[in-house]
A and B are shown apart, each in its own frame.
Chain A
Amino acid sequence: MLARSAGMAGRQMTPSSNVIQDRVAEFLRRYPPFSLLEPVERSELAARVSIRYVMAGSVIFREGAKPGDEFYVLRQGSVEVHEQGPPRQLVDVCDEGDVFGVRPLIAREPYLATAVAVDECILYVVPVAAAQPLLKKNNRVALYFAAAFASGRPHQRKRSGATLAGGRLAGEGPVPVPFLNDTIVLNATKKVLTCSATETIRSAALAMTEHGYSSIVIADGANAPVGILTDRDLRSKVVTGRHAADEPVSAIMSRPVKTVRAGITLAEAMIEMIRQKVHHLCVTADGTDGSEVTGLISDHDLLLVQGFNPAIMIKEARKTSSLPQLVAIRKKAEELLAKYLEQDVSALYVAGMVSAVTDAIVQRLVELHVASAGVPPRDFAWLALGSQGREEQLLRTDQDHALVYAGEPDDDVRAWFLRLAVFVSDGLAACGFSPDAGGVSAASPDWCRSLGEWKETLRRWVERPDEHDILLATVFLDYRPSAGNPALARELTRYLYEEIARTEVFLGRLAENALSTPPPLSFLRSFVVERNGEHEDEFDLKLRAMIPLADAARVLTLDHELMGENSTIRRFHRLAALETGHRDLFEEAAVAYEILMKIRARFGLKHRDIGRYIDPEALNKLDRQTLKNIFAAVKELQDVLKVRFPAGRVR
Chain B
Amino acid sequence: MLHALVGRVRASRVPMEFKWYRDAQPRWADRKRLLDEIRFVVLDTETTGLDPTRDRILEVAAIGVRGSSIAVSDGLDLRVRQHLTTPGGVAFHEITPGEAAKGVPEEEVAWRLLPFLGGAVLIGHHVAFDVEVLDRLVRRNLGFPLLNRSYDTLALARRVDRQLGNPDGVRPDELGLEALCDRYGVEIEGRHTALGDAFATALLFLKLLARLKERRVRTLGDLIGR
Contacts and interface: CB of A to CB of B under 8 A. Distances in A.
A122 interface: yes
A122 B194 CA distance: 22
A52 B68 contact: yes
Contacts of B95: 3
A542 to B, nearest CB: 37
Contacts of A46: 72
Given A2-B195, A19-B196, A13 B79 contact: no
B206 A53 contact: yes
A2 B59 contact: yes
B73 A2 contact: no
Given A3-B93, A53-B203, A20 B69 contact: no
Interface stretch (A4-12, A328-336, A358-366, A456-464): A4-12
B207 A18 contact: no
| Main SS at interface, chain B | mixed
Given A23-B189, A49-B72, A55-B211, A10 B79 contact: yes
A24 B185 CA distance: 18
A610 interface: no
Interface string A417-441: 0000000000000000000000000
Interface in A341-364: none
B76 A12 contact: yes
Contacts of A23: 189
B199 interface: yes
Nearest to A8: B79
Interface residues on B, range: 35 or more
A9 B79 CA distance: 5
Contact of A54 (B68, B93, B96, B196): B68
Give the top 8 A-B pairs by smallest Cβ distance, nearest first: A10-B104, A3-B94, A53-B206, A13-B75, A50-B69, A14-B73, A50-B71, A51-B70
Given A10-B103, A10-B104, 13 more contacts: A2-B59, A2-B77, A2-B193, A3-B93, A9-B102, A9-B104, A13-B74, A19-B77, A20-B199, A50-B71, A52-B70, A53-B203, A125-B69
Interface of B: 59, 63, 68-79, 81, 93-96, 99, 102-104, 108-109, 112, 116, 185, 189-190, 193-196, 199, 203, 206-207, 210-211, 214
Interface of A: 1-3, 6, 8-14, 18-21, 23-24, 46-55, 120, 122, 125, 487
28 contacts: A2-B77, A3-B95, A8-B79, A9-B79, A9-B102, A9-B103, A10-B78, A11-B78, A12-B116, A13-B75, A13-B76, A14-B73, A18-B72, A19-B77, A19-B193, A20-B63, A20-B70, A49-B72, A50-B70, A51-B70, A52-B68, A53-B69, A55-B210, A55-B211, A55-B214, A120-B185, A120-B207, A122-B203
